[in-house]
Structures are given as structure tokens and as C-alpha cells.
Chain A
Amino acid sequence: MKKVIFASGAVLMLATGAAQAQEKTLTISVYALAQDEYKQIIYDPFEKICGCKLVVETGNSVERIAKMEANKANPVVDMAVVSMADALAASRAGLIDKVDTSKLSNFDKLYDIAKDPNKDGMSVGYTFYATSIAYRSDKMKIESWADLLKPEYASHIAWPNVTTNQGPPALYMLGQALGKDTPDLKAAIAAVGEKKDEIVTFYEKSSQLVQLMQQEEIWAAPIGRFTWAPFTKLGMPIAWATPKEGQTGGMNVMVVTKGSKNRDLALQFMDFWLSADIQTKIGEKVIDSPANKEVKLSEAAANNLTYGEETAKSLKLIPSAVALDNRAGWVKSWNEAVGQ
């Protein structure tokens, strides 16, 4: 009888232990990009450190935030990475909590721009990118964002559609160049609208631009730095512009889900991702630009990323509230002025 009780107890202990191990699961929601590299550099090493299981959900941010909203009462995801503006949208929808940065040992090592991008304590930037103009330096001279619309250049450029990530930042900088930088971007949209028949195309996928540049269909286009590398391999005199109004860009941030049961584990994971070691490895693979200022990248990687204190300081990002409150209006104005 004693043996039976002992055996039952052992089985019970084993089962409880297994259940506890099973409970230690962290669910993260990320962009679908470069998942093989992320797994190798971040996910697998973290699982070994925490002794937990990482469940990765991928998709674009619209889908993922819609999913978080659907599961608001009983959250599945513990932490997510989204754009700055989407983080504010999630915050307004009550889907996320303040990030306890005292538990992030790497927080103080971040560039200032990444520390609290929305100034509400609800997100921490893990990567950012510059948006400027890739152009044929033998055919044109770009000193200002407004130069793109010069009569001699307009019929040789591609402009990002307002619905892309590069669209609003490019219009924002054009507005600054025109001296009319209102949040509704009306002046910039009108200026592009006036040249709509001349502009070669309003692109939606930046991957198309390399071919158009190679065929000399276009000489210039506003692009994100993360798509710069293929242009450098074309064997053509293509330069990265530094317009006098500055460069713009975007930032992706980490957020923690309201009501998550694995908050400490989520913060531990975020801290791991923000460490100089991990950010260096991700940077060297030319996936994400580092937000940790202690990261030292090779010249090859640095050239293809948005890298360094100077660059970080020079970025003029559209405030998230401006983006959220005006997004629908931008698309409407764009469709009226350009879409027809």
C-alpha cells in the first residue's frame, strides 16, 4: 500500500512539475520578416536562458492588432512589436500597459529617440530607419525634398503611395521643404497632385524600384534605408541624399499586453532583445538597425542600415498622434488630388 501511495505521489509531483514547465510559455507577436534569423539569434537562445517555451505569432500589424483586440478580455499575446503609430492606437484602445523600464537593464543604453517614442511610457523602440531619397548622382542633384518635383526631374521619379510606410514621411518632408508643414499634409499632397501625370509611378512595393532604376525608368525615389542595399549593387552612380530639411523615417517598438500573465518573462525577453549582443547580431545580418547605442557594427552592415548617434538625432519622425488622427484624411486628400 505504501508503495502505491509513494508511486502516486511521485506521479503527481512529476505531473505538477510538467504542468509548471508547460505554464512557462511566452507568446510574442511580431512582423513576419526574417523569422529564420530571429529564431536563430533571439528565440532559440532565449528559450535556453529562460527555460520557457516561446510561441511566435506573425503577421502585418493591422492583422495582429485586430487579433489582440478580439482577445482583449483574455489576452493570448504577452508582448508585441508594432510601429510607433500602431502602439499609440493599441494604447488608445486599451490593449497595452506601461512598460516597467526599471526591469530593462539595457534601457539606459538606448538612443534617446527610442526610449519612449510616444512619450506615454507605453512603448520602447527596438529599431528605427531613415527615409531619404535614392537618386542617380550623374543625372540630378538633390539638396531638398522639393527638388524631386522640379520640372526636369518630375518625369523621372517614383513617389511612395500614401498608403505605404514611406508615403506619409516623404510628404511630411516635402511639406517642410515647401514651408507648409501642416499635419493634414495638404500642401505636399497638392504639390504631388500637380505633377501626377509626370511622376512615373506611385509605388506600393519598394522591391519594384530596383528594377525601375536599373532600366533607367526612374532616376530617384524616396525609400527606407532598409531597402538601400540592392541599389548599391546595381553598379550605377546611385547616392543616398541628405536633404537640407533632414531625413525622416519610422520606428518599430515593443509593447506589453494589458492583462498578460507573463509580464516579467515578457520584460526579460525585451531586455534580451535590446542587449548590445543581440542587436549587434541582428544588425550584422542587416535586418534591423540597432537602437542600442553600444552596438558597434562592421562598415558593410552600417552602410546598409540606419546607424549611429548622428543619424538617430537627425531623424524627423511624424508624431504618432499626428499620424493616427490624420491617416484617414491623408488618404482622402491623396485620392482626390492624386488618385484620379
Chain B
Amino acid sequence: MFQNRAEALALALPAALFAAAVFLVPVVILLSDGFRSPVGGWTISAYTDFFSNTLNQTVFLRTLKLGALVTVVSAVIGYAAAFAIVNLEPGAKGRMTGLVVLPLMISPVARTYAWIVILGRTGIVNQAFQALGLTEAPLRILFSETAIFIGLLQLFLPLMIISLISALENMPKDAIPAARVLGANWFQVFWKVVLPLTKEGLVIGGTLVFTGCLTAYITPAILGGSKVLMLETLLYQQVSVSNNFVSASVIAFILIVMSFAANILLKRVATARNKMRSQP
């Protein structure tokens, strides 16, 4: 399209400069604080201090656990929902996709506050449990890992479903009937045909959901509070309360590394499956 490489670079330059000025430079400055020694020079002592603290260890592992759990569960539910949607008539498909996207248009604050009403001791969930005789006294769901899990799942499930709808639509229409004709059961169809053919969608959806869970602030802050801290809520506490920018910088760096690691890991898993399949 372009006469030479220089033309393309010249066109990309303003955007690249803008991104460097407003994103890269501030991020590098922010992250470098975590490696600066108070007596001059560079050190990783802020990181060793961070990980030697048991509260920080708990918060780190909790964030990892909840992020992974929400990603896995949203993939399972997401595949089922996406399958159902792509097999609908075009009109119904559009309406259903619209319904999936609808929660994304509502403020996360409003959505999360709704969970306080739903999950409370007098909320719908507890009323249903008691009516069904599953519990005598109302359960304590709010301000727990369960509450954060539910909130995050509801927040990010649409991203997974949309990614999988797109991937499933690009899959050859006769792949599943062909596999069935050749004698594959439904599990084999999913594992050996659908999953490899939609892995790109799963990687994109998985990365969006996992990084979303890591960086979400409002949901863990409202549904978990300071009783169930996640890395993002701990970061806020370090900045706004303790004024500890070094510790906040360490947490920010950890969050960035975790996001990249999740993306690389998901890509590796997908590639590894391809290699296994291509071996004789």
C-alpha cells in the first residue's frame, strides 16, 4: 500500500509519540520507583520486602486464585452460551448478543451495588435458600471471596462470550458434523475439534478476563472491602492511605507482569496443543 517503509513509519509516528509521552514514559518512571534504593543506585529490596510480608503473600495468592477461577469458569459458561448464540437465527442472534453486551454499558459501580442488595442477608439469594430449606439462618455472602468471585464473573463474562462467539463464527460450519459422522462423542468434538479451532478467541477472552480481574478495583473494593484485599485494593490503600508509593509501584509492576504472563501462558497452551496434534 505504501511506496516505502518510511511513509508508513511517518504515518505511525504521531500516534507512537503520543503513546510514548502519555503512557510509556509515565509508566517507566512509576515502575522505576520500585527499583530505586533510598541511598542511591538500584535494588530489588522493595520486592523482597513485599513478598516476605504474609499479608502481601495472601493478597497476591488470592488475586491469582480468583483471577484464574473467574477465567476458567467464564470459559466454561462462555463456550456454552456462545454455542447457543451462534446457532440461533440471525435476528435472534443479534438480540442475544445485544443482551450479552448490555451489562457492559452499565456502570460497574451500579452493577456492583446491585450485588450488595442481591447477596445481602435479606437479599434474593438468601431468601431463595431459606424458602427452599437449604439454610435456616441467612448466609453471610457479602464481604467474602465468594462475593468478589460472583461480582467479577458477572463483570467479565460478556468479554469471554463475545470473544468466543467471534471465534465460533469463523469455524468451518461442517467441522462438527464431520467429527460426529466419524464417530467422535460430544466431549471429543469439543476437545479435538472446537477447542483447537477457537483457541484464538479463548486466548483473547482469557487474557481480557484475567487481566480484568487483576486490575478491577470497584468490585473487590465494594464486595470484599478491606477484609478481603486484592492487589488492586491493596495498591489503592498504599497510595491513598499510607502514601507508600514504592510499595504501590511494586504492586503495579507485579500486576503488569501477571497480565503479560497470563497472555503468554494461554498462547503457549494453545500452541502446545497444536504441536501435540501435528505429531504423528
Contacts and interface: CB of A to CB of B under 8 A. Distances in A.
B123 interface: yes
Interface string B214-230: 00000001100111010
B121 A216 contact: yes
16 contacts: A60-B240, A155-B140, A161-B226, A163-B226, A201-B227, A203-B226, A208-B222, A212-B120, A215-B120, A215-B123, A216-B122, A217-B116, A217-B120, A336-B55, A340-B54, A340-B55
B143 interface: yes
A44 to B, nearest CB: 32
Contact of A215 (B122, B221, B226, B242): B122
Contact of B241 (A66, A163, A216): A163
A196 B228 CA distance: 11
B142 interface: yes
B140 A200 contact: yes
Given A200-B140, A215-B122, A336-B55, A62 B243 contact: yes
B142 A217 contact: yes
A208 B116 CA distance: 10
B97 interface: no
Interface string A271-315: 000000000000000000000000000000000000000000000
Contacts of A16: none
A335 B58 CA distance: 11
A196 B227 contact: yes
A245 interface: no
Most chain B C-beta atoms within 10 Å of own C-beta, residue among A60, A212, A215? A215
Interface string B135-160: 00000101100000000000000000
B171 interface: no
A336 B54 CA distance: 8
A149 to B, nearest CB: 16
Interface of B: 54-55, 58, 113, 116-117, 120-123, 140, 142-143, 221-222, 225-227, 229, 237, 240-243
B238 to A, nearest CB: 10
Interface of A: 60, 62, 66, 155, 161, 163, 196, 199-204, 208, 211-212, 215-217, 331, 335-336, 339-340
Contacts of A203: 225-226
A215 B117 contact: yes
A222 to B, nearest CB: 15
Contacts of B54: 336, 340
A200 B120 contact: no
B236 to A, nearest CB: 9
B121 A339 contact: no
Contacts of A199: 227
B225 A202 contact: yes
Contacts of B123: 215
A113 to B, nearest CB: 27
B55 A163 contact: no
Nearest to B237: A163
Given A200-B140, A200-B142, A216-B121, A211 B116 contact: yes
A339 B140 contact: no
B121 A201 contact: no
A216 B227 CA distance: 19
A340 B58 contact: yes
A62 B142 CA distance: 31
Contact of A339 (B142, B143, B229): B229
Given A201-B227, A202-B227, A217 B121 contact: yes
Nearest to A202: B226
Question: Nearest 8 A-B pairs (CB), nearest first?
Answer: A163-B241, A215-B120, A201-B143, A201-B225, A161-B226, A202-B226, A335-B55, A339-B55
A217 B122 CA distance: 8
B19 to A, nearest CB: 28
Contact of B242 (A66, A163, A200, A212): A163
B215 to A, nearest CB: 19
B242 to A, nearest CB: 6
Contacts of B142: 200-201, 217
A200 B143 contact: yes
A340 B59 CA distance: 8
Given A163-B226, A340-B54, 19 more contacts: A60-B240, A161-B226, A163-B242, A200-B140, A200-B142, A200-B143, A201-B227, A204-B225, A215-B123, A216-B121, A216-B122, A217-B120, A217-B122, A331-B241, A336-B54, A336-B55, A339-B226, A340-B55, A340-B58
A211 B142 CA distance: 13
Contacts of A202: 225-227
A199 B140 CA distance: 11
B116 to A, nearest CB: 6
Contacts of B237: 163
A335 B123 CA distance: 31
A289 to B, nearest CB: 25
Contacts of A339: 55, 226, 229
Contacts of B122: 215-217
Contacts of A155: 140
Contacts of B226: 161, 163, 201-204, 339
A211 B109 CA distance: 14
Nearest to A62: B243
A215 B122 CA distance: 6
